[in-house]
Amino acid sequence: MQSIICDQPNSLSQVERERPECSAGEALVRIRRIGICGTDLHAFSGRQPYFSYPRILGHELGGEIAGLGSGISNLALGDQVTVIPYLECGTCIACRAGKPNCCTALQVIGVHCDGGMQEYIVHPADHLIKAEGLSLDELALVECMAIGAHAVRRAGVQAGEDVLVVGAGPIGYGIMQFCRIAGARVIALDIDDQRLKFSRDKGGADVIVLADGENTQQLIRDVTGGNGAAAVFDATGSPQSMTQAFEFIAHGGRYILVSIVDAHISFYDPDFHKRETTLLSSRNATREDFAWVLQCLAEKKLDLQPLITHRCSFGRFVEKFVNWATPGSGIIKGIIEV
């Protein structure tokens, strides 16, 4: 079978590997769609903090069951599935508390271990979710949307609240969508005018704000009646943006760091303290978040097709990806067809 390996920063190669065989409790998945996300782009450019080389990328996956190990009764050959790519230990303090998404020994396929940018993978059957009636494209993007669903659930977003989503990429899109479903008023902030227009037209944003540096804080105050946002989500991965966004939070509000960056983030404690700000990180997602995304897709509350701006076949991905990773490519979400 064919696999695509990130050998080192800024280098991809396509190689032939043996097709794996599944053991008890595992399933062989024929990969049919692969979503390309910021983690893949950061790993390719050498800016992913949890990454080591060489590595097979890919953790946004939709596929079909092509083989089953013993002891599996809830899946059948040919079933279409989405993949939960987070492999937890099941015994650590986080797992025991029902938070396997931040397991102390967490392995994310495509990051800590080899991922799904290949024709077949073997994966624990209990980390596959069968989904009937959805497209392969949708199945590949469930993980991306689950990140946003988890962040919104963690933030406890309420109907009628002003929420600010900083960063109008795919993760920001997911956050906006689930804030909208929760009934909040959604404000999108970005430095890219085209992404903001996309957020307004397709992403569920009620208000868009183009960041202009010195006046951004006042712009956010203006659109929130002088209060700031009850919940601020960062989806930028920019240390400067993540630091500045502390200024946008309302008194009694929450700040949720969804993106991750290999840097220190600081804030001015008197302002943070006087607001009694709640600071949260949001890592990955849980099975409950995947289930919620699938339910929203089935009920047509969520539309993922506008996200997909770039598409290519598996055999052409190596040559295409350099262009996709170039600033100014216009990519929001790329899909590989296998």
Look at residue 179 in the predicted model and tell me its pLDDT.
98
C-beta of residue 291 within 8 angstroms of C-beta of residue 268: no
The boundaries of the domain holding residue 243 are 148-281
What burial class does residue 243 get, using C-beta atoms within 10 Å of its C-beta: 0-12 exposed, 13-18 middle, 19+ buried?
Answer: middle
Per the domain annotation, does 313 fall within a domain? yes
Per the domain annotation, does 113 fall within a domain? yes
Looking up residue 122, the CATH number of its domain turns out to be: 3.90.180.10
Do 115 and 206 have their domain in common?
A: no
What burial class does residue 162 get, using C-beta atoms within 10 Å of its C-beta: 0-12 exposed, 13-18 middle, 19+ buried?
Answer: buried
Any idea which residue has 């699938």 for tokens? Answer: 294
Do 125 and 152 have their domain in common?
A: no
Look at residue 45 in the predicted model and tell me its pLDDT.
77
- Among 233, 248, 281, identify where a domain stops: 281
**pTM (2 d.p.):** 0.94
Do 192 and 247 have their domain in common?
A: yes
Look at residue 212 in the predicted model and tell me its pLDDT.
83
Per the domain annotation, does 298 fall within a domain? no
**Which amino acid type is present at position 81?**
V
C-beta of residue 35 within 8 angstroms of C-beta of residue 250: no
Do 184 and 87 have their domain in common?
A: no
In order along its 338 residues, the chain shows pLDDT tens digits of 999 999 988 889 999 999 999 999 999 999 999 999 888 887 887 777 777 899 999 999 999 999 999 999 999 999 999 999 999 999 999 999 999 999 999 999 999 999 999 999 999 999 999 998 999 999 999 999 999 999 999 999 999 999 999 999 999 999 999 999 999 999 999 999 999 999 999 999 999 999 987 799 999 999 999 999 999 999 998 999 999 999 999 999 999 999 988 899 999 999 999 999 999 999 999 999 999 999 999 999 999 999 999 999 999 999 888 888 877 788 899 999 99
Tell me the three state secondary structure of residue 92: coil
Per the domain annotation, does 194 fall within a domain? yes
Alpha helices (H) in 90-215, listed in sequence order: 93-96, 136-155, 170-181, 193-201
Do 163 and 211 have their domain in common?
A: yes
Do 155 and 265 have their domain in common?
A: yes
Looking up residue 158, the CATH number of its domain turns out to be: 3.40.50.720
State the total domains in the chain.
2
Do 92 and 52 have their domain in common?
A: yes
Per the domain annotation, does 141 fall within a domain? no
Do 167 and 107 have their domain in common?
A: no
Do 173 and 121 have their domain in common?
A: no
Do 164 and 219 have their domain in common?
A: yes
Per the domain annotation, does 299 fall within a domain? no
User: And the tokens for 120?
Assistant: 């077949």
Do 207 and 266 have their domain in common?
A: yes
Per the domain annotation, does 72 fall within a domain? yes
Do 37 and 99 have their domain in common?
A: yes
Per the domain annotation, does 293 fall within a domain? no
